[in-house]
Every structure is written in structure tokens, then in C-alpha cells.
Amino acid sequence: MRGGAANRLRAMRIIGSRRTFLAAGFAVATYLALNARAQAAGFQSWVEAFKPRALKRGISEATYDRVMKDVTPDTNVYELQRAQPEFTEQMWQYINRRCSEWRVITGKERAKEYDALFTRIEKDYGVDRYVMLGLWGMESSFGDVIDNPKYMRPIIPALAALAYGEPRRRAYWEAELLNALTIVDRHWAEPSTMIGSWAGAMGHTQWMPEVWLHTGVDYDKDGKISPFGKPDDAMAGTARYLVERGKYQRGEAWGYEVELSPSQARMADNRTKRPYAKWHAAGIRRADGKPFPRETDHAKLWQPVAGGPAFLLGQNFFAVRSYNPSSSYTLALLHLGDLIRGDGHFKQEFPGGERPPTLAEVKEIQRRLNERGFKTDGIDGRTGSDTVKAIVAFQKKVGMEPVDGYAGLKVLARLRQAG
């Protein structure tokens, strides 16, 4: 009797708990639905309030209504904007990953395939083809990811969400949304074809709408400017950007790796600009032993990591840096271009670094990860986000430190050790 009563009491409690849980769940669902409707109403009010600015900009009412009337803001961009990486790459890892053998091989293929295009760009703009190839490889893996839904999304819903709900840079997002609407109004693109990053960068060389509008070039003479499709417009518009905004100098080197003794390291402040002749007089020599071919060009001395390779940086380094204000990005991009040209890796290694893995070694890493249940979304020798996530999971499982997601020789050795 006691057991039966106790069971009935427990059952009643469970039923009561379930009812409470269901009621709470219903309340949460109702709140979320009401909140979603309120947010939708707030966004629609903002769309109406933003319309006069678009009309003042010269965007037709028909275009604005067609594009913005039924747009749903891509609120996922808020999390993407705030997301922090799970780990920090060291400089040598950053460069090795972006200057992978896959990118070098593919870059050499593109150099041959588009030789006539790059010859024309060098003639018209003076930008070295290997700078352009490095930038193309860095920005979109030579056009390979420009419409990949894993990395790209419709940019107008993304920019609308940022313009509406991101207060920190609202004026910037509003301006880029207006630029995107202007592109549609000019019949250069339809909203459905404007696919890019969460921040609105699109195409082969990841143009923001403002760049598309103001430095784009109809280089293939088809009557419109586009960063998609054939790379002609994207390459020419990007070369124009480097010249007009970055002050790229025809015929000048981006810089050189140099030998730097510990006593000379104090000069590597990346601020003092001197002609190469004066750097040579101060005892700074190229790492490959060759002379500086244009001694009157000016450069700054930079050593990214103490004890690692050092560089004299010319104007064209900073021209490329204007495209993305990161010195690590710029160095990796220019090094990738040099590797595609046929030059070798840096003479001086970074402290604690290792050589880049070969294409075959990256494929082996991916194969062994997949065999152990860590999915890389293919065995192609490319270290995309899925491969990085798989390596992170493997490193955590086996206790490797640091957990950095880097597809390098240490990970390969541990995978081989695991059998």
C-alpha cells in the first residue's frame, strides 16, 4: 500500500512538473513569438524611415520598394560580428596556412590561364601580376568560395540588419546599404545575386559596395561592372584601387627580406623611412645576397617577431595594406604572390615555427582525421573551417597543447602515432 501510494504521489508530482514545464514552455514560445513580431514591426518602421535617405541619394522609389519592402534582416550577422576565434594563430601559422601548397599550385595555374588579362592590367595600371594573384588567392581562393553558402550570404539582408540594429558603426552600415541599393538601381546586379561575407564584401576580390561603385571598372566591356563571373572587372577594379587609394608605384618592389643581427633589431621600428641606399650603408643586406635594384626608393624596417625574419617595406607594401589594414595579412598576401612567381620561402624561420605542410601531407591529415570520426568535409589538401574544427576536436581529445587548429607537422605526427 505504501509503495502504491508513493508511486501515485510521484506520478502526480511528475504530471504537475510536466504541466508546469509545458506552461513555462508555452509562455516562452509566446514571448518569443510576440518579441519576433515586435522586432519585425520595428524593422519595418525603420525601413520606412530610411526610405527618404535612399530617395535623396538618387535611388528610385521603385527600386527601394522592390528591394526593401519584403527584406528580412539577417540577424545572424550580429553574432558573426561579435564572434571571437577559439584560438590565436602565431605569425608563422598564419602565413603557412594562407600560403599553402594548394594556393601556390592553383595560383600558378591561374597565372597561365589569365596571362593576357594580367599583361593588360600591368600595362594599364602598373600593378604586378603576382601581387594581384596573391590578393585573389587570399580573398576568395581564386574565386572558389565567392558563392559558397558555407562562407557567403545575401548581403542586402545582412547590411539591412547591421544598419538597423548595430549602433557601433551604424553610419558605415547605412552608407554601405545605400551603396548596395545604388548598384541594384543601376541594373548592375539583382539582390539575389549579391552574395558575400556577413559584412557585405563580394566577389573575386571581396569588394564592399562602396568599392564596387567607386573604383569598379567595366574591363570586359559588357556594359556593367561586376566583381562576380569573369575575373576581368574584379582584377582591374582592384588594381585601380591599389593605385588610386593605396598609391601603388609602378615598377617598385613591395620590399625585401633582410638579414638583421640582434644589434640591428632596434632599428626595426616600422616607422623610420629611408632610401634603400641608406639602409645598405647602415649595414642592412638582402637575405638572398642580391643588391637593391632601386636604391633611391624608400622603405621602412620591420621585424614582426623578435628573432624571426625581418623586412624592408616599400611603398607598395603599404599600398596593398590599404586594402586590408593588417600587416600580417599584407605580408602573407605578398609572400603568396612571390611563391606563385617561383620565389622560395623566407630565409629566416620564425621562432618556434615549422615548415609548411605539403599538399600530400594536408590530405593525409584530413584522411586520418576522417578515419577517426573527425569530419573535414573532404580530403582536398585545403585547410578550411571544417578541417580546422576537426583538428581542434582531435587536439582536445588527445590532450595536445596548444589547441590551435593548425594543420601542421605536429598534428600529422600525432595522428600517425595514433595509428
In whole angstroms, what separates CA 366 from the centre of its chain? 22
Helix, strand and coil content of the chain, in percent to the nearest 5, comes to 55, 5, 35
Condensed to tens digits (0 to 9), the pLDDT of residues 178-225 reads 999 999 999 999 999 999 999 999 999 999 999 999 999 999 999 999
- pLDDT reading at 255 higher than 80: yes
Decide if pLDDT at 84 tops 70.
no
Query: Does position 354 have pLDDT exceeding 70, yes or no?
Result: yes
The architecture (CATH level 2) of 92-128+240-353 comes to Orthogonal Bundle (1.10)
Kindly indicate the confidence band of residue 4, based on its pLDDT and cuts at 50, 70 and 90: very low
Q: Is the pLDDT of residue 12 over 50?
A: no
Model confidence pTM above 0.85: yes
Query: Rg (Cα) of the chain, in Å, rounded?
Result: 27
Percent of the chain with pLDDT over 70: 89
User: How confident is residue 150, by pLDDT bands cut at 50, 70 and 90?
Assistant: confident
Contact (Cβ atoms closer than 8 angstroms) between residue 208 and residue 201 = yes
Q: What is the rounded average pLDDT of the residues 150-176? A: 94
Q: In Å, how far are 155, 362, 363, 408 from 359, measured between CA atoms?
A: 33, 5, 6, 11
Q: How confident is the model at residue 37 (pLDDT cuts 50, 70, 90)?
A: low
- Supply the pLDDT for residue 81: 83
Report residue 357 as a C-alpha cell: 605542410
- What pLDDT does residue 87 have? 62
Sequence ranges of the chain with CATH classification 1.10.101:
359-418
Instruction: State mean pLDDT over 359-377.
Output: 96
pLDDT band at 129 (very low <50, low <70, confident <90, very high): very high
* Confidence band, pLDDT 50/70/90 cuts, at residue 28: very low
Count the helices and strands in the chain (H runs, E runs).
Answer: 17, 7
All CATH 1.10.530.10 domain ranges in the chain, comma separated: 92-128+240-353
Architecture of domain 359-418: Orthogonal Bundle (1.10)
Q: Which residue has the higher pLDDT, 5 or 286?
A: 286
Instruction: Tell me the pLDDT tens digit for each residue of 228-249.
Output: 999 999 999 999 999 999 999 9
pLDDT at position 89: 87
Distance (Å) of CA 229 to CA 107, 137, 146, 204: 18, 16, 10, 8
Interval 37-54 mean pLDDT: 87
Residue 26 has pLDDT above 50, yes or no: no
Q: Which of 88-92, 253-257, 301-305, 399-403 has the least mean pLDDT?
A: 88-92
- State residue 416's pLDDT score: 96
pLDDT at residue 1 tops 50: no
pLDDT for the residue numbered 23? 43
Quick: pLDDT tens for 281-318: 999 999 999 999 999 999 999 999 999 999 999 999 99
- pLDDT band, very low/low/confident/very high, at 31 (cuts 50, 70, 90): very low
pLDDT recorded at residue 339:
98
**Nearest residue to 124 (alpha-carbon basis) of 225, 219, 231:** 219
